[in-house]
């Protein structure tokens, strides 16, 4: 595939290349025994359902500014000022810039997360002890390369606005890559990062309902991601039951740390910086206003039931998740029960209210996160 990088991504202050020492004990499996049928079925499905970046219609003219301006002109400004309750009343122009930048920030972090997934999954190919899991992970590596490709093309060729990797996401990706234990790679990538991505992709798709190229792109990526998350859940099944208390405690610490990093990356500090707004005031707003808190909580709607299924919603994790308002998702379907991703009804309603033509109060979401 060839495409023109019209708007290259911003390079981090530390430079274009980052070197991380990935430590992984590599296992070769000489018996090639294929026991886990559920992983083999997933592998077959992955191969059958693969697609090519060229299948997307890249000739579609993407003009997000026109779409956002139409929405604002259609009355969304009043609703946004009411629902989001910003620290100052935002003019139409400010609302347009904020929306475009938040959108570009989210899509850019999707791209960076995809690169992390590409690297982490390659590490799983090496470290996981069973042949059938190596097969699936290899299939996922190819998926992730394609995801990097399509998000990168979309951002540089179509959107023209992009962000470098967010500090917290980078910290989490580095931690996942550096950790020598194969189950931690699964836990960090397939359960936490990809679990959050599934919910976040769903939200972006709803928010950009009037842009056909991103609809097709995210729709295809989400189908792959739902298999990736299922891969993690199936591979880690029963593992934590056999662990010692000390080993389990390390996993709990990892989950809690990853949760904080994923939540903080959604405060979108870089957006306020780019807009030239008072970062302290706006980050404080992002932390406390019910709309933004509800938005962050819903990003965990897939992670929580999956952690529960794996036996990682332990009293310690539960206590932390209670404080963050995340236990509301514990009885939702996990990725084995519901491999397709149904965005939480609460989320759909919130967004519909946000985009509808009548003012409404957010209600129903607590401000804990
Ligand atoms: Fe991906
Ligand atoms: Fe993935």
In the chain, what is the straight-line distance between the N-terminal and C-terminal CA atoms, in Å?
Answer: 41
Q: Give the distance (Å) from ligand 2 centre to CA of residue 343.
A: 18
Q: Between 212-236 and 131-153, two packed helices, what is the crossing angle to 10 degrees?
A: 160
> What is the reported pTM?
0.92
Tokens of 159: 């959107």
Q: Give the distance (Å) from ligand 1 centre to CA of residue 150.
A: 10
Please tell me the distance from the alpha carbon of residue 175 to that of residue 180, in angstroms, as a whole number: 10
Phi then psi for 86, rounded to 5 degrees?
A: -65, 160
Q: Give the distance (Å) from ligand 2 centre to CA of residue 230.
A: 10
SS3 state of residue 153:
helix
**Which-ligand-closest: CA of 114?**
1
Q: Give the distance (Å) from ligand 2 centre to CA of residue 194.
A: 6
**Which-ligand-closest: CA of 221?**
1
Q: Where are the alpha helices (DSSP H) in 128-265?
A: 131-153, 167-178, 182-185, 194-207, 212-236, 245-265
Q: Give the distance (Å) from ligand 2 centre to CA of residue 86.
A: 34
Half-sphere exposure of 95 (CA within 13 A, CB side): 24
The DSSP letter of residue 154 is I
Q: Give the distance (Å) from ligand 2 centre to CA of residue 22.
A: 19
SS3 state of residue 209:
coil
Complete DSSP assignment for 329-359? GTTS--TTT--S----HHHHHHHHHHHSSS-
**Which-ligand-closest: CA of 189?**
2
Q: Give the distance (Å) from ligand 1 centre to CA of residue 148.
A: 7
**Which-ligand-closest: CA of 149?**
1
Pick from 201, 118, 194, 111: which is nearest to 156 by CA?
111
Q: Give the distance (Å) from ligand 2 centre to CA of residue 144.
A: 6
Q: Give the distance (Å) from ligand 1 centre to CA of residue 349.
A: 26
Q: Give the distance (Å) from ligand 2 centre to CA of residue 256.
A: 21
Q: Give the distance (Å) from ligand 1 centre to CA of residue 288.
A: 30
Q: Give the distance (Å) from ligand 2 centre to CA of residue 249.
A: 26
**Which-ligand-closest: CA of 111?**
1
Q: What angle do CA 354, 340, 84 make, to 5 degrees?
A: 15
Please tell me the distance from the alpha carbon of residue 11 to that of residue 7, in angstroms, as a whole number: 12
Beta-carbon contacts of 80 under 8 Å, excluding residues fewer than 6 positions away, are 90, 95, 354
pLDDT in tens, the chain (369 residues): 778 888 899 999 899 999 999 888 899 999 999 999 999 999 999 999 999 999 999 999 999 999 899 888 888 888 888 888 899 999 999 999 999 999 999 999 999 999 999 999 999 999 999 999 999 999 999 999 999 999 999 999 999 899 999 999 999 999 999 999 999 999 999 999 999 999 899 889 888 888 999 999 999 999 999 999 999 999 999 899 999 999 999 999 999 999 999 999 999 999 999 999 999 999 999 999 988 888 899 899 999 999 999 999 999 999 999 999 999 999 998 988 876 666 656 666 666 665 554 333 333 334 344
**Which-ligand-closest: CA of 195?**
2
**Which-ligand-closest: CA of 201?**
1
Tokens of 40: 């083999």
Q: Give the distance (Å) from ligand 1 centre to CA of residue 365.
A: 29
Q: Residues for the chain: how many in total?
A: 369
Q: Give the distance (Å) from ligand 2 centre to CA of residue 168.
A: 19
**Which-ligand-closest: CA of 145?**
1
């Amino acid at each position: 595939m060839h495409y023109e990088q019209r708007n290259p991504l911003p390079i981090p202050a530390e430079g274009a290349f980052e070197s991380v020492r990935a430590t992984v004990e590599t296992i070769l499996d000489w018996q090639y025994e294929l026991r886990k049928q559920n992983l083999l079925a997933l592998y077959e499905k992955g191969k059958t359902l693969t697609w090519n970046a060229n299948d997307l219609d890249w000739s579609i003219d993407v003009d997000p500014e026109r779409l956002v301006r139409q929405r604002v002109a259609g009355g969304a400004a009043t609703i946004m000022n009411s629902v989001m309750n910003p620290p100052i009343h935002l003019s139409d122009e400010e609302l347009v810039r904020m929306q475009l930048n938040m959108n570009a920030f989210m899509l850019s972090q999707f791209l960076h997360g995809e690169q992390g997934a590409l690297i982490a999954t390659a590490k799983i190919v090496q470290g996981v002890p069973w042949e059938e899991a190596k097969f699936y992970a290899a299939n996922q590596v190819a998926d992730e390369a394609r995801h990097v490709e399509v998000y990168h093309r979309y951002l540089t060729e179509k959107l023209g606005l992009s962000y470098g990797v967010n500090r917290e996401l980078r910290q989490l990706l580095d931690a996942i890559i550096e950790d020598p234990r194969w189950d931690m790679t699964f836990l960090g990538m397939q359960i936490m990062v990809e679990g959050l991505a599934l919910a976040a992709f769903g939200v972006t798709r709803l928010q950009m309902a009037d842009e056909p190229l991103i609809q097709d792109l995210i729709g295809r990526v989400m189908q792959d991601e739902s298999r990736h998350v299922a891969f993690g859940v199936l591979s880690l099944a029963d593992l934590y039951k056999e662990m010692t208390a000390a080993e389990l405690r390390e996993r709990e610490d990892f989950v809690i740390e990853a949760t904080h990093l994923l939540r903080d990356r959604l405060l979108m500090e870089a957006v306020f910086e780019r807009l030239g707004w008072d970062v302290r005031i706006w980050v404080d707003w992002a932390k406390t206003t019910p709309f933004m808190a509800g938005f962050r909580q819903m990003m965990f709607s897939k992670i929580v039931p999956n952690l529960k299924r794996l036996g990682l919603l332990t009293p310690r994790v539960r206590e932390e998740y209670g404080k963050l308002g995340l236990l509301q998702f514990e009885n939702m379907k996990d990725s084995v029960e519901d491999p397709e991703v149904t965005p939480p009804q609460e989320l759909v309603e919130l967004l519909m209210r946000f985009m509808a033509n009548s003012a409404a109060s957010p209600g129903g979401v607590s401000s804990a996160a």
